[in-house]
Structure 1
Amino acid sequence: LLVAQRLPPLDFTFDDAAARARRRQQIDECQDLLDYLAGNRHGKEPLRYDEANTLVLLRLLGYLCAERPAKPADWRLPEAEREPRLCEHIRAMTVEPFNFHDGPLFRARMFRLAPEDHVLVVVVHHLIWDGWSFDLFYDEISSLYEAFRNGQPSPLQPLPVSYGDFAAWQRGWLQGDRLRAEVDHWRKHLEGHDEPLSLPADRQRPAKMSSTGITEWLDISKEMTDSLHEVGRRADATLFMTLLSAFYAFLWKHSGQRDLVVGTPVRARAHAEVERVMGFFVNALAIRQRVDENARFLDLVREVRTIVLDGFSHQDVPFEHLVRELKVPRDESRFPVYQAFFSLQDARQRPSQWGNLTHERFPVFQAGLAEDCSVWFVERSFGMIGSVSLNADIFNRETVRRYRDRFRRLLEAVADDPDRRVADLAMIPDVESEEIGRYSSVVGDVDLTKPVQSLFEAQAARRRKGEAIRFGGRSMSYGQLDGRANRLAHLLLARGVGRGTRVGLCLERSEDMVAAMLGVLKAGGAYLPLDPAFPASRLAFMVEDAGVGLVISHSSLAERHGCSADKTLNLDEAEAEMARQPATRPASAVSGQDPAYVLYTSGSTGRPK
């Protein structure tokens, strides 16, 4: 995990949680609990992680010790300002890097908002902790709090093994025949899947992912949670399987991709001896599912149940080892294998009291995100609390809010009628539907028999100096866009493009992409979008299958589409030639009945069609 964190995009590998207690308490008692758990119970054979070149060494040098605050944070602020200030401090704790050489890798701090209002914040590095460790943490503090408060010794039984014992066992297992068989299983499971998740983004993807996410909370009522449980029972499935099925449907509705891979965590505590040991046991599974939009949702749940159970029976291969074995090409702009993540944690049995101290969960945002899209839930006795997170490099917060509201609406549709086809499940909330209706309503007298380029030219004539495109801090007027598209159209005509010619567009999002679309249409052709993010083999198939006569691209993308030089027009190399072309509209006999574009879907078998 330490090595993986050094390789983008894994910059954030923390777990965090906060508990709020609304009564007067002794801070020293809480510190004693943390010291005992860290230094006596789970820290007898601790690990510190050092690096020597590329070698990671494990040493018995004490790591699980909590930071000792001299006193709790205490603000003399108006009540309305206390929680926002607390959230600022929590965020600072979650983004502060850990020191692997000197430790600690566990931070705990108590914040006092009022004499009887305290928040305990815990931030832990995944090297020593996983989600199940938090459940153990809450459970053991519940047992220790009352004992230490009354001056009694720990009532906890000694642990039969340590995390070091598990690490030694796993290291030996990673060299065995069983591991090779397990890797072969996952290789077969993922064979042929080389298309990354492609959600409609707000901006161009950077070459290197920052691992920063934008999160919006999602609360699900007890009534809806019970209804989703019932949906699962009808398919002999769990709530986890039902929610994961909804997530697959959600991703299909946004991306149009039917062959999807979603990452999900598993506890990986197959041995009873490690059930009570805090440490990093969790593993990530890459669960692949093909979505049939014509199937009933209940049938999708049954399919997901089968594939999940199969994955859980092969959960011991560490994900980072699988990535190495699959020889996944390194791409710093995306997470390897899967770009969507789903998690459900059942915390209904988590104690709400530590001795005589009642506490409640305090929401904590996790700033880091390795994937493009992540949805997680924690089930409690009163329903579920969760979040929807998107990659901040390519999405805006408003998009995250829309995704959150759409996922809630989709869950409502699933709970209401799981016998519906996946394609018929409602996802757009009423408010957004009304907004779409306002934008899409036809205003004025528009001749819909005319080709789209003619409608654009009419708008450009009315607003020559009006802003048509804004991108990356640059803008282009209608007159400039129309002129550039006309020059490109003349150049395309000289290259043999004419009525019905199919022209590939392998371009990043930019002004040139829009000008190229219009230029192809003005020349009489039909454009074929070729996303540079797609695998080269997929782009090559689309070019050949569509009978593309020419590809418009940039020289930096030549290896992506693989077309020969005589069938490629690189805009960055053709600037001088384009500048010599007329800026006036070319003569064309194109009508509104001629093809404008060609689109490919993923195909139910994974082959574009």
Structure 2
Amino acid sequence: MGEKQTYDLSHGQKRFWVQSQLDAQSSAFNQSVAVRIRQAVNTAYLQQALHIIVERHFILRTVITVVEGVPKQVVLEQMTLNVPVSDVSDIGEETAWAEVQKEIQTMMNQPFDLEQSPLWRAQIYKLAEDDYIFHICMHHMIEDGWSMDLFFQELFHIYQALEQGTSLRLPDLPIQYIDYAHWQNQQVLTGKLNSQEQYWKSRLNGELPSLQLPLDFPRPTVRNAPAAVEKVTLDAELCAGLEQLNRRYGTTMFMSIVASLNVLLARLTQQEDIIIGTPVAGRNQKQVRNLIGFFVNTLVLRNRISRDITFSQLLQQVKDECAGAYAHQDYPFDQLLQVLNRPRRLNRAPLFDVLINFAAGSKSEENFGGIPMERIKLGNGAEANEFDWTVIVESVNDEMVISLSYGTDLFTPLTMRRIGAYFRNIIAGAIQEPEQPVWKMDYIGVEERTEMNRINDTQKTYPAGVTITSCIQEQVARAPHAVGVVDGSKAVTYEEVHLRSNQLGQLFSRYGVRPNSLVAVMGDRDVPLLTVILGIMKAGGAYVPIDPDYPQSRIEYMLNDSSCRVLVTDTRYFGRMLNHLPASIETVICLDETVWGESEWIVRLREMRGHEAEASFIPVKVQDIPVHDLGLENIPGEDDLAYIMYTSGSTGQPKGVMMTHKAVLNTLFWLQDTFALGQKMSSHRRRLPVSQTRCGNGSGR
């Protein structure tokens, strides 16, 4: 084997390589472990033990080079080891410990150059004669969690053999990582995994859901913020309850936690189709169980949480899903991504946003020549990666610790603390009543429920039987000469608005406007338009605001969908609508630009009797219509429509939202109670400006 011979990457390595090309300066794939050895250490023996491991495992002498655009592994025959020893024993224990932590963090954050050896770095720290720390940091392309355990087992086994002068006994390595990578690639290329490929394609067919978690911040275009972690502890009593639940339904602890996570995600997102991921060791072949390298594969778990499913039914579904996934776990995840050919986004992980990893039992201490060796917790325990959440589950004595790692660019600590409590409550609820429907599980805590009830206790009695028009009439009676509307430099009294809207109300009544009739209104926001709206309501009708700046297709859709019989617009917009009016429109009332003065309204009547129908224009002077009609403002009832407001249509076609007089006044009465606009307030605070935007922009109330 020469230094220049190249070998294919494994599928897992290929994915890491692609991700590393997106950000060569990222340290996200650095994996670190530090151990504290509370005894005297012969550093020469420790370095010699490391040298033997490097000679034994080719992957620790491997670099990645690009040959004709394709990344390849290169195994170096010779590699100079450099494991510095830092003696901080003379600066005091507290200061030494702080200095070591600082140096370890610096090493963890330093990116690797994949083309330069080695893809790991190590250092020994001497805190005292009988107190040492050994720290190693590897790129994820050459290791996984299993590999780290193997590394330390071999390191200390070799060290003890050297120190005691005994023969070295290590398991044989029949193959190396490059052999595994070749075998894995051949499995795919020769079609031996075709049946597994078909399984995954069938499980992930159709439209795949995108998890809509309740974010605290807008999702950034590129995610590079640090991660944080929220820990949830399940005490011994809860763990015992989970074990009993699993015995009852023939499931495992992993399955019951996954089912609970599915409930949490479904309830937070209100989605029924949930996809999460989980890693597997990928060491089914006995030849690789003693190899250092990256063997982990990722499995996709898809569950559908129907509205009537119980937790026990979901648990059985998760059991079946896990069984199917594990039976087809050899198919490489990165190959699956290629086969599915789904578009990639830099700010989201492919296929799923939540990864759950059920770690082995936590073992913080191991034996080092008869003296405990302690693994040191590095950082805050958060895992920075491409997922929105990474859920790590660990057994610690009789308890279970669930770590929710999350991106600080998406969530606040307060939100994750609350979500962590939800997770625990769902698990507790499943133990207590597994036959309950998951959509009815009460996962909100007592304190939060009490606060929600307090905030939502908004019941209040408002006047009954009143309408917008009757309220206007009352205001006119109280203060007829008070300024009711301000439009730029123009101020109009309540009485003026009332009298003109009375005239228009009678005009609309002549042309068929009755209670709950819909009248489309398209024009600029100004005082005349306000009198039109009140006039429509006084005739009993409801207005449908249409912004003239909308695309023609949206205007036509709103007119057709609402089936309005009357359209009110002005002469500037009438011409463009002439040939686009739906059959439902029988009357078009045009305002000219000076209608508030001495001008006329023009009424266009259109008899819809086929293509030969002609349009006629009838001039009507508004001033000739009587002002007073004592019963006009009493035509609509509180349950009659006041207006219909169309949504944006961002999720499909726009939808008309019907608002009654009662619903509108409920909001206005609340505003009055909350902000208390009144006669004693200064005039500039009592006057509400009329927006200069056109009608129908979403606030035409």
2:645 aligned partner, one-letter code: G
Match among 428, 441, 444 for residue 428 of structure 1: 444
> Per-residue CA shift, 1:274-323, capped at 9, x if unaligned?
11111111101111111135333222121111111101111112111111
Listed as ranges, the matches of 1:542-557 within 5 Å are: 543=653
> 1:522–1:586: 8 Å Cα contact kept in structure 2?
no
Match among 162, 176, 179 for residue 165 of structure 1: 179
Listed as ranges, the matches of 1:412-451 within 5 Å are: 412-442=428-458, 447=462
> 2:645–2:656: 8 Å Cα contact kept in structure 1?
no
Q: Which entry has the higher C-alpha Rg, 1 or 2?
A: 2
> 2:311–2:435: 8 Å Cα contact kept in structure 1?
yes
Specify whether residues 208 and 159 from structure 1 end up closer, same or farther in structure 2 by C-alpha distance, changes over 3 A only: same
Match among 64, 69, 91 for residue 84 of structure 2: 69
Write the distance in 1 (CA, Å) between the matches of 2:440 and 2:23.
Answer: 36
Match among 260, 270, 282 for residue 296 of structure 2: 282
Specify whether residues 4 and 17 from structure 1 end up closer, same or farther in structure 2 by C-alpha distance, changes over 3 A only: same
> 2:59–2:292: 8 Å Cα contact kept in structure 1?
no
Query: Does residue 179 of structure 1 match 2:190?
Result: no
> Per-residue CA shift, 1:246-283, capped at 9, x if unaligned?
11111111111111111110111121111111111110
1:582 Cα deviation after fit? 8.2
Listed as ranges, the matches of 1:230-249 within 5 Å are: 230-249=244-263
Aligned residue in 2 for 1:317:
331
Aligned residue in 1 for 2:62:
47
2:546 aligned partner, one-letter code: L
> 2:112–2:119: 8 Å Cα contact kept in structure 1?
yes
Aligned residue in 2 for 1:144:
158
Write the distance in 2 (CA, Å) between the matches of 1:41 and 1:584.
Answer: 71
Query: Does residue 250 of structure 1 match 2:303?
Result: no
Query: Does residue 404 of structure 1 match 2:524?
Result: no
Write the distance in 2 (CA, Å) between the matches of 1:186 and 1:2.
Answer: 22
Identical residues among aligned pairs (%): 24
1:171 Cα deviation after fit? 2.0
Listed as ranges, the matches of 1:490-569 within 5 Å are: 492-495=545-548, 524-525=644-645, 527=647, 530=650, 539-540=651-652, 543=653
Match among 321, 324, 338 for residue 307 of structure 1: 321
Match among 204, 207, 223 for residue 218 of structure 2: 204
Write the distance in 2 (CA, Å) between the matches of 1:4 and 1:522.
Answer: 58
Write the distance in 2 (CA, Å) between the matches of 1:281 and 1:450.
Answer: 72
> Per-residue CA shift, 1:216-255, capped at 9, x if unaligned?
2334434433332332222211111111111111111111
> Per-residue CA shift, 1:519-544, capped at 9, x if unaligned?
xx9964253774xxxxxxxx44xx38
Write the distance in 2 (CA, Å) between the matches of 1:299 and 1:65.
Answer: 58
> Per-residue CA shift, 1:426-461, capped at 9, x if unaligned?
433344444444544449x6759999x9xxxxxxxx
Q: For the aligned residues, what is the CA RMSD?
A: 4.1
Specify whether residues 230 and 17 from structure 1 end up closer, same or farther in structure 2 by C-alpha distance, changes over 3 A only: farther
SS at 1:4's partner residue? helix
Residues 53-62 or 261-270, more deviating: 53-62
Write the distance in 1 (CA, Å) between the matches of 2:223 and 2:58.
Answer: 35
Aligned residue in 1 for 2:617:
none
Query: Does residue 371 of structure 1 match 2:387?
Result: yes
SS at 1:525's partner residue? strand
Aligned residue in 2 for 1:106:
120
Query: Does residue 57 of structure 1 match 2:72?
Result: yes
1:201 aligned partner, one-letter code: L
> 2:38–2:372: 8 Å Cα contact kept in structure 1?
yes
Match among 218, 223, 228 for residue 214 of structure 1: 228
Specify whether residues 414 and 191 from structure 1 end up closer, same or farther in structure 2 by C-alpha distance, changes over 3 A only: same
> 2:86–2:123: 8 Å Cα contact kept in structure 1?
no
> Per-residue CA shift, 1:191-211, capped at 9, x if unaligned?
113321110111111222326
> 1:63–1:103: 8 Å Cα contact kept in structure 2?
no
Specify whether residues 342 and 580 from structure 1 end up closer, same or farther in structure 2 by C-alpha distance, changes over 3 A only: closer
Query: Does residue 121 of structure 1 match 2:135?
Result: yes
1:49 Cα deviation after fit? 0.3
Aligned residue in 1 for 2:376:
362
Write the distance in 2 (CA, Å) between the matches of 1:148 and 1:40.
Answer: 16
SS at 1:134's partner residue? helix
> Per-residue CA shift, 1:47-74, capped at 9, x if unaligned?
2101246311221226998751232555
Write the distance in 2 (CA, Å) between the matches of 1:221 and 1:383.
Answer: 5
> 1:493–1:523: 8 Å Cα contact kept in structure 2?
no
Specify whether residues 431 and 16 from structure 1 end up closer, same or farther in structure 2 by C-alpha distance, changes over 3 A only: farther
Query: Does residue 387 of structure 1 match 2:440?
Result: no
SS at 1:31's partner residue? helix
TM-score with structure 2 setting the length:
0.62
Aligned residue in 2 for 1:598:
none
Residues 396-405 or 300-309, more deviating: 396-405
Specify whether residues 585 and 299 from structure 1 end up closer, same or farther in structure 2 by C-alpha distance, changes over 3 A only: closer
Write the distance in 1 (CA, Å) between the matches of 2:157 and 2:110.
Answer: 31
Residues 377-386 or 84-93, more deviating: 84-93
Write the distance in 1 (CA, Å) between the matches of 2:63 and 2:157.
Answer: 28
> 1:15–1:124: 8 Å Cα contact kept in structure 2?
yes
> 1:66–1:106: 8 Å Cα contact kept in structure 2?
no
1:69 aligned partner, one-letter code: P
Specify whether residues 188 and 28 from structure 1 end up closer, same or farther in structure 2 by C-alpha distance, changes over 3 A only: same
Aligned residue in 1 for 2:579:
none
Aligned residue in 1 for 2:50:
34
Write the distance in 2 (CA, Å) between the matches of 1:212 and 1:268.
Answer: 29
Residues 266-275 or 221-230, more deviating: 221-230
Specify whether residues 117 and 46 from structure 1 end up closer, same or farther in structure 2 by C-alpha distance, changes over 3 A only: closer
Write the distance in 2 (CA, Å) between the matches of 1:416 and 1:152.
Answer: 56
Specify whether residues 442 and 171 from structure 1 end up closer, same or farther in structure 2 by C-alpha distance, changes over 3 A only: same
Write the distance in 2 (CA, Å) between the matches of 1:522 and 1:85.
Answer: 71
Match among 10, 13, 29 for residue 29 of structure 2: 13
TM-score with structure 1 setting the length:
0.71
Match among 311, 319, 330 for residue 344 of structure 2: 330
1:122 Cα deviation after fit? 3.2
Of the two structures, which has the highest relative contact order with CA contacts closer than 8 Å and spacing of 6 or more?
A: 1
1:392 aligned partner, one-letter code: T
Query: Number of residue pairs matched?
Result: 495
Write the distance in 2 (CA, Å) between the matches of 1:277 and 1:182.
Answer: 25
Write the distance in 1 (CA, Å) between the matches of 2:145 and 2:429.
Answer: 30
> 1:227–1:415: 8 Å Cα contact kept in structure 2?
yes
Specify whether residues 581 and 231 from structure 1 end up closer, same or farther in structure 2 by C-alpha distance, changes over 3 A only: same
Write the distance in 2 (CA, Å) between the matches of 1:333 and 1:584.
Answer: 32
Structure 2: where are the runs of 5+ without partners? 1-14, 469-524, 531-543, 549-554, 564-640, 659-690
